[in-house]
Structure 1
Amino acid sequence: MAGTGALMASAAPGAIAQTATTTAPVTDQASDKTGPRSAQRFDIAPGPLDVTLAQFGAAAGVPIAIDPAMAASMHSDGLRGTYTVPEALRALLSGQPLEAVATAGGGYWLRPSALTGPAPEVPPPLPISMLAEVTVTAAPGASGDDNYRATTVDLGAMGHRAIVDLPYSVEVITRDQLDNQQAASLVDALKTDASVTPISNNIGGLSSQIAIRGVGLDLLSGRKIDGLNIFGWSGDLPVEHFEQIQVLKGASGFLYGFAQPGGIVNFISKRPTDTPKRDVLTSITDSGTMLLSGDLGGRFGTDDRFGYRVNVVGETGDSYVKHGGRVERGSASLAVDWRVLPNLVWGADVLTVNRRVTGSSSWGIFPNASGSETDFAVAQPPPAIPGSRRIFSPFTSYETRARVYGTDVSWAFAENWKASLRYRGSTMERVYMNGSMFVNRVGDYTEVQYGGTDQFDTDDVQALVTGTVHTGFIRHELVFGTSYGRIRTYFSSVTNEAVLGTGNLANPGSFDNPHLEAPPADTLGSYTTQRAVFASDTLHIGEHLDVIAGLRRNGLRDSINGYDKTAYTPTGAVVFKPLPALSIYGSYMEALEQGATAPLTAANAQEVFAPLKTRQVEAGVKVDRQRWYASAAVFRIQRGLTYTTAQNVFTQDGESRYDGLELLAKTRLTARWQLIGSVMFLDAKNETGDPTLAGKRVDGTPRQQAKLYTEYRLGDTGLTLTGGLQYYGARPIDSANTATVPAYTLFDTGIRYEGRLGGARTVVRFNIDNLTNKAYWLTSASYLTQGAPRTFKLSARIEF
């Protein structure tokens, strides 16, 4: 085998494009002539054997030499799990007529096995300079294979961890899944996780709003970018600028500080790529919305020390709401980094967003018995209205503008020790010229328009030190940190309002435009600061038992509304791992959430309440095998109760309890067939408080939800068929359970083609969401919004 004709995968910079995901070795690194002996986690998709071997070599840092002609017709099932290098090679070559022979230089040479043909003598170690560099990319038609499974996550105060080792429920939506489902919002992105309930979308409502385990995301602290807080509930973050969306389910007090106990959504930014990236995407919907985006990344300078990533997105056209619905948005992001030293990296990023929706975006539809705007007693709503039907006046609008920026520095200052300092700031402004509708069961309604401006400014900084020490036979993973956050909210001191008219939803009226103005945000509504110090210790006791203990001291002060509270939020957990791929855990978490703020439509609008404490217990099991992943969790969450009284007064009193069971599985049934399934059973009740509410279900919570997504690749044609199902149980609209919205089921389908056009990799996707054009209501805090109708999406991505 001539050196110049061989394929070599090594850890040398620039040698290959690494697409495998790895985690830190689970034992101390040691090597000899047979290569690294430490067990390491691999996540390598199926594909041609030479591709998977190259990915493995890069991930393991081990040179692999093979004659390309020998592997040209061979296919590998990929590699998922924790292996030493010899174990991994045996798994990769299982069923192949090849064997791996160690070389004196610490690498491996692949040759025909003794059972299939003559084995030539083992050659001397091959210097890297003798071998041609190759660039490895995913084979056409294989982009969906196992690329929907992430093995690690960044989890606040716990740092970077393997998901299977965590005593909490975590889901990760990868870039491949976002692309292949053509997700345009947070609601779209999380449609495969049954623990997530959509409560508003970004066309019929103000923005994409979700509940996790029946609890809505915290309005001020529920969304993060790269683990740091931003204000994002009043306007959607454009998903095109993010590599992953990570979802922590349940209370997050120790991990992230103040937040409602449903969970946290963490958007992971796109970062500079080690290999050049040049992508262009164009898409169109059946209503006429057109989108164009570009993604550019790479490195330059001596030793590729400088990296960049640029993303630009523009979208305009008619929304799916007929006769007046329109959407216009633009966004751009830039991320850069500088590898100052091999162990010292500085980075910075900025994102700007501008989005405007007309003719549909609303505060919501309030169901009452009279259809009058002065009636705030909840009653049964009318039957669901198709999302494509216009019911709000076409001159109403909702616009958001945002700037998000951040910087960070990371320093590996000693073996197994790392320090980081990160900052993120954001400014979100919304100009609302939209309104609410008050509707009775037969469709009689009154439409009201509001005009005003809100502004939200955030700053968040965190210092973190992580490291490993040993005390006897126990290995400690230590985390020490401190954080400071600031949130300022401003609103218009005068909010304009006009009753546009009355009518019936069977034939919505055409009202005169009152030409309301949106006064500027001139009043400081709240000035909140959050201060925290935290520490945790993960004790690895032998190979099978982990014990986690953590404590966070939280301080919350609102200088405008007059409260200053400090509390300790501990966490404790035990993880038992009888097998490397199996974990059984139990955990306890406390959380502190900022007091609720009365909505604009309440009689005590803008009133801010004191903080609330939450307790959560959870137990579960996780299995992470090469071809499948599964998890199950049972949980109980106890939190303070908030509701609006029959007198339209928003209050915070009593306690609610959430008992639930979650099941999730991701599996590759065959090399071509992939499946994601999840289900949640939830019993959420008001335990104490107003006697008329005790024992009633918490508003907006279903008893069960189920979701299914599948893909099947049609041989080597480049075509992949997709299908999805989402079932949502019936939900009470209000705390008193006066009215409910019925259960509904949505179906999705699609097809995509992956191939090459003029030498460039091209992916064409065609998706149909809500295939049967089901009409349904989304609900939150006694208000309803229309669900999205059947939508056709066609896109093409070209990678240069």
Structure 2
Amino acid sequence: MSSVTIVRTRRHQAGLPSLSPLSRAIIVACLSIGAVGLGGTAYAQQARPADTSPQMYKIAAGTLDQALNAFGAQAGILIWIDATRTQGKTTAGLNGQYGVEGGLAALLAGSGLQAVKSEKGGYVLQDASSSPTSNGTLPTVEVSAAADSGENNAYRTRSMNLGALGAGSLRNTPYTVDVVTRELIENKQAHSLSDAVKGDAGIASGSNYTNGTGDVLLIRGTLLSYRNNYKLDGMDLIGFLGAPQLPVEVMENIEVLKGAGGFLYGFGTPGGIVSLSLKRPTDAPVRMLNTQITDSGKVLVHGDLGGRLGEDGRFGYRINLINEQGNTYVKDGGKIDRQTASLAFDWRLTRDVVLSVDALHQERRVDAVYYQLVPNASGAVSNAISAPPAAVDGSKRLASPFAYSQVRSTSLGTSLSWQFAPEWNAKVSYRKWDQDMQSDHSFLYANAAGTYSEMQISLPSQVRSEQTQAMVTGSFGGDFLRNDVTLGVSYSGIYAQESNDFKSAVLGTGVLGTNTNYANPGLSTVWTGGGWRFPEQQKSAFISDIVHFGSQMDLIGGLRHSSFRSTTYDKGAVTPTLALVYRPVNWLSTYASYVEALEQGSVAPTGTINANEVFAPLKSKQTEIGVKAELENWSGSAALFRMNQALTYITSGGVYTQDGQARYQGLELSSKLRLDRRWNILASAVFLDARNTRTSGGTLDGKRTPGASRQQYSLYSEYSLADMPATFTGGVRYVSARALDTANNWELPGYTVWDLGARYVTHLGQTKTTLRLNLDNVANKAYWLMAGSNRLIQGAPRTVSLSAQFDF
């Protein structure tokens, strides 16, 4: 061969440190991982298969050599290019979602070439009419390791979707981002969104999918909004009385943007955006059955079926079905009954036009749940915050067994992508979301001694939302100065309401953890329509330009104009972003960015004197500087950030107010390392200074923001045995003390949770079988989760999960 091109993979993440023994250990892990990465790899590694799951590609038309190099870098594969075969050949590029082999076929279409797998990994170009050598193998070539997104590469990925900027490389993204892969979700046997993301120190859980009514997340100490910060494939999922309850088992990955994202996604709180990507058709057939049981007696069965049909695999399908039933870890009354179905289809109408359609439906009921526990001085029904009670083991029932949350949700989505010119693509997307909640859940009020009152509320609610978005992306320019341009418009309509038939009752008083049984007041209401209505319209138009100055520097600029109309106000604002990325060497990116967030005004919560009062929209501002590195077996990042957000809180008189600012500033560190062929280490840490400023009279200035911990650390490791297909895992997460109230009179203690696990891969006949055992919260630590200044939920207790996965 006259020329050989080796393409290596990339990836990054985010996190930071402090000073307890655990914090020192994790900081050392982050920094030592970096040292190993910077020092290069000191060992040989066999080639591994690339991740065949589809991802978004945006590769400009041009010479075949350049396009193949760009594809290899994004896909994480090695492509061996013979310059005499590719000389003078061009390609129309790629702009859409492809698997590895589908993408290669599309790039090589009409070139007379085909990409064939090497026996040692990677791909070699051959004439389309040629066949393998007489012994059935390709000529031997020396290759370096090809990385994938699974355990073979420390669960690293290469790219993600970033709203208005589209798909892009994580390393060249001027924000702190992370991707939780499907493989990591499966190997941790994640039961919820909170379980799936707990390995990232930058994200904290504020509620519980089993004890409470749904997942609530905080990023950089900021509570994510139910209404705008959770997405499905980048499109809106609107929650109302709680966050959208989404099944992680049917997701390909979870993409997290940390910090303000007003330009990228429109309205939303500045903490970040969590976007879940639905499993979609793959080029390789999928035939999977997973069965799982927990020590409490909960059973889950999950089937996953996918592939392609028709000429050239033109039709793709992916079907996931889940049934989950049994006892939750909440003893003496905790039960769950859940059915989930997801469907995803695509049709390659032509080489340049792809139509995608998907549907997600879930029905879920959980018994013995409560919405929140409010710590107060009396233990009676009151939102006046006081010292908290001692943490209660998560397996102990606090709510009555007849308190329940029942949610039915449906999402329908479709998109049409058209590459109308070699370097230009147009895409129109639509998503509809319906969620009905029929809940008779409890509100608990407890004093420091554990004396509590339970109030039950029956309040059916409905949310209907839809979003339509149109985007045009394209590239122009030469080799040194090149522009990647995005233009788009978006419209969202939201309609949320509660039933007129609102009922509540105080059930009685007792002592936390004693399983007090009260008479069922039979509050269950029937939807009657009417009630408080919250119609909203959100409209936006956005434009961005990424200017590439050669291969070392990118200048990113963008503007989004958003308008928000409701029954109480009609406001509009412009949210800009500006960023600079500089690569002194090809494996290292440095960046500085400025971005804003625009969020609708807060709504005073139930139980406050001014409940349901709607406040004016808010704008937040964020600056960040950082560095990201990617080498063959290691990726790491560090980011310094500062963000200001309008402050909301409940006064001592029980009034919900919007006054002053909360200032969040800190440092995140993160590393992911494939230490050798058998050992993965993932470490992250966060140091956060979150304080109030500019409050009326300055009485709260300098006080810590409730719910934001000063330090959070996470460490996860896997080690595979050399003489058998078994892997052992271990993880630890630390969250420091958090201020309980705005005046900082009380705080919640910190906590440390340890997890262990193991998996074993074998074959039953021709069927690959993976056995997994996970033991979460090994020490059965009792601790409080916290969302905001008055909402506490028990942390999950010791939980054992055992599963058998069959890949046919």
TM-score range normalised by the length of the shorter chain: 0.7 to 0.9
Pairing of 1:176-325 with structure 2 (within 5 A): 176-232=183-239, 233-325=242-334
Tell me which of the two structures has the higher relative contact order, counting C-alpha pairs closer than 8 angstroms and 6 or more residues apart: 2
Cα shift readout 1:501-558 (whole Å, capped 9, x = no counterpart)? 1112253421111111224253252111111110000000122110001001111111
Once the two structures are TM-superposed, the CA of residue 256 in structure 1 deviates from its matched residue by 0.3
2:180 to 173, 176, 182: 173
**Greater gyration radius:** 1
Query: How far apart in 2 are the matches of 1:168 and 1:433?
Result: 41
1:30 to 63, 69, 90: 63
Cα shift readout 1:173-203 (whole Å, capped 9, x = no counterpart)? 0000000001111100101111101100111
Pairing of 1:632-643 with structure 2 (within 5 A): 632-643=638-649
Pairing of 1:567-582 with structure 2 (within 5 A): 567-582=573-588
Amino acid at match of 1:797: Q
- Are 2:60 and 2:67, in contact at CA under 8 Å, matched by a contact in 1? no
Query: How far apart in 1 are the matches of 2:553 and 2:169?
Result: 15
1:449 is paired with a residue of what secondary structure? strand
Cα shift readout 1:627-668 (whole Å, capped 9, x = no counterpart)? 000011110011111001111111111111000110010000
- Are 1:297 and 1:309, in contact at CA under 8 Å, matched by a contact in 2? yes
Q: Which residue of 1 aligns with 2:374?
A: 366
Query: How far apart in 1 are the matches of 2:355 and 2:61?
Result: 28
- Are 1:147 and 1:174, in contact at CA under 8 Å, matched by a contact in 2? no
State the TM-score, normalizing by the size of structure 2: 0.85
Query: How far apart in 2 are the matches of 1:571 and 1:42?
Result: 25
Cα shift readout 1:311-364 (whole Å, capped 9, x = no counterpart)? 0001000100111111111110111111100110001111111111111x2111
Matched, 1:662 2:636: no
Q: Residues 22, 216 of structure 1: CA spacing in aligned structure 2 closer, same or farther, 3 A cutoff?
A: closer
Q: Which residue of 2 aligns with 1:565?
A: 571
Query: How far apart in 1 are the matches of 2:343 and 2:320?
Result: 7
Query: How far apart in 2 are the matches of 1:706 and 1:722?
Result: 17
Once the two structures are TM-superposed, the CA of residue 147 in structure 1 deviates from its matched residue by 5.8
Once the two structures are TM-superposed, the CA of residue 738 in structure 1 deviates from its matched residue by 2.3
Matched, 1:343 2:352: yes
2:754 is paired with a residue of what secondary structure? strand
- Are 1:172 and 1:244, in contact at CA under 8 Å, matched by a contact in 2? yes
RMSD value, Cα: 2.8
Cα shift readout 1:244-300 (whole Å, capped 9, x = no counterpart)? 100000000000000000000001111112122111010000000000010011111
Pairing of 1:17-96 with structure 2 (within 5 A): 19=52, 29-31=62-64, 40-41=72-73, 44=76
- Are 2:266 and 2:597, in contact at CA under 8 Å, matched by a contact in 1? yes
Q: Residues 759, 147 of structure 1: CA spacing in aligned structure 2 closer, same or farther, 3 A cutoff?
A: farther
Query: How far apart in 2 are the matches of 1:35 and 1:696?
Result: 54
Once the two structures are TM-superposed, the CA of residue 396 in structure 1 deviates from its matched residue by 0.9
Cα shift readout 1:133-162 (whole Å, capped 9, x = no counterpart)? 99xxx99x9952116111100100000100
Q: Which residue of 1 aligns with 2:705?
A: 698
State the TM-score, normalizing by the size of structure 1: 0.86
Cα shift readout 1:432-486 (whole Å, capped 9, x = no counterpart)? 1011111111111111111110111111110000000016831000000000011
Cα shift readout 1:666-706 (whole Å, capped 9, x = no counterpart)? 00001110010000000000001243322111110000000
Once the two structures are TM-superposed, the CA of residue 757 in structure 1 deviates from its matched residue by 1.0
Q: Which residue of 2 aligns with 1:674?
A: 680
Identity of aligned residues (%): 42
Q: Residues 545, 205 of structure 1: CA spacing in aligned structure 2 closer, same or farther, 3 A cutoff?
A: same
1:788 is paired with a residue of what secondary structure? coil
1:553 to 561, 571, 583: 561
Query: How far apart in 1 are the matches of 2:70 and 2:795?
Result: 51
Query: How far apart in 2 are the matches of 1:234 and 1:223?
Result: 8
2:186 is paired with a residue of what secondary structure? helix
Q: Residues 431, 56 of structure 1: CA spacing in aligned structure 2 closer, same or farther, 3 A cutoff?
A: closer
Matched, 1:333 2:337: no
Any unmatched runs of 5+ in structure 1? 1-15, 47-52, 80-84, 90-102, 108-124
2:349 is paired with a residue of what secondary structure? strand
Query: How far apart in 1 are the matches of 2:683 and 2:118?
Result: 41
Q: Residues 587, 508 of structure 1: CA spacing in aligned structure 2 closer, same or farther, 3 A cutoff?
A: same
Amino acid at match of 1:357: V
Query: How far apart in 1 are the matches of 2:445 and 2:374?
Result: 5
Q: Residues 737, 541 of structure 1: CA spacing in aligned structure 2 closer, same or farther, 3 A cutoff?
A: same
Query: How far apart in 2 are the matches of 1:442 and 1:635?
Result: 40
- Are 1:20 and 1:43, in contact at CA under 8 Å, matched by a contact in 2? no
Q: Which residue of 2 aligns with 1:119?
A: none
Q: Which residue of 2 aligns with 1:407?
A: 414
Aligned residues: 723
- Are 2:323 and 2:340, in contact at CA under 8 Å, matched by a contact in 1? yes
Q: Which residue of 2 aligns with 1:528?
A: 536
Query: How far apart in 2 are the matches of 1:131 and 1:148?
Result: 35
- Larger deviation, residues 57-66 vs 628-637: 57-66
Once the two structures are TM-superposed, the CA of residue 58 in structure 1 deviates from its matched residue by 7.9
Query: How far apart in 1 are the matches of 2:316 and 2:329?
Result: 39
- Larger deviation, residues 281-290 vs 650-659: 650-659
Once the two structures are TM-superposed, the CA of residue 607 in structure 1 deviates from its matched residue by 1.5
Amino acid at match of 1:307: G
1:126 to 87, 111, 130: 130
2:194 is paired with a residue of what secondary structure? helix
Query: How far apart in 2 are the matches of 1:716 and 1:153?
Result: 36
1:266 is paired with a residue of what secondary structure? strand
Cα shift readout 1:5-59 (whole Å, capped 9, x = no counterpart)? xxxxxxxxxxx99628888698975358x9967684065599xxxxxx9999889
Q: Residues 132, 406 of structure 1: CA spacing in aligned structure 2 closer, same or farther, 3 A cutoff?
A: farther
Amino acid at match of 1:532: S
Query: How far apart in 1 are the matches of 2:106 and 2:130?
Result: 19
- Are 1:451 and 1:519, in contact at CA under 8 Å, matched by a contact in 2? no
Query: How far apart in 2 are the matches of 1:127 and 1:799?
Result: 30
Matched, 1:602 2:608: yes
Query: How far apart in 1 are the matches of 2:575 and 2:512?
Result: 49
Query: How far apart in 2 are the matches of 1:536 and 1:35?
Result: 23
1:157 is paired with a residue of what secondary structure? helix
1:771 to 769, 778, 791: 778
Q: Residues 581, 143 of structure 1: CA spacing in aligned structure 2 closer, same or farther, 3 A cutoff?
A: closer
Q: Which residue of 2 aligns with 1:12?
A: none
Amino acid at match of 1:539: V
Q: Which residue of 1 aligns with 2:745?
A: 738
Query: How far apart in 2 are the matches of 1:37 and 1:200?
Result: 45
Amino acid at match of 2:275: N
- Are 2:54 and 2:282, in contact at CA under 8 Å, matched by a contact in 1? no
- Are 1:379 and 1:739, in contact at CA under 8 Å, matched by a contact in 2? yes
Q: Which residue of 1 aligns with 2:656?
A: 650
Pairing of 1:371-770 with structure 2 (within 5 A): 371-373=379-381, 375-470=382-477, 473-505=480-512, 507-520=514-527, 521-558=529-566, 560=567, 562-690=568-696, 691-770=698-777
Query: How far apart in 1 are the matches of 2:205 and 2:407?
Result: 20
Any unmatched runs of 5+ in structure 2? 1-48, 79-99, 139-144
- Are 2:218 and 2:787, in contact at CA under 8 Å, matched by a contact in 1? no
2:363 to 337, 354, 359: 354
Amino acid at match of 2:375: P
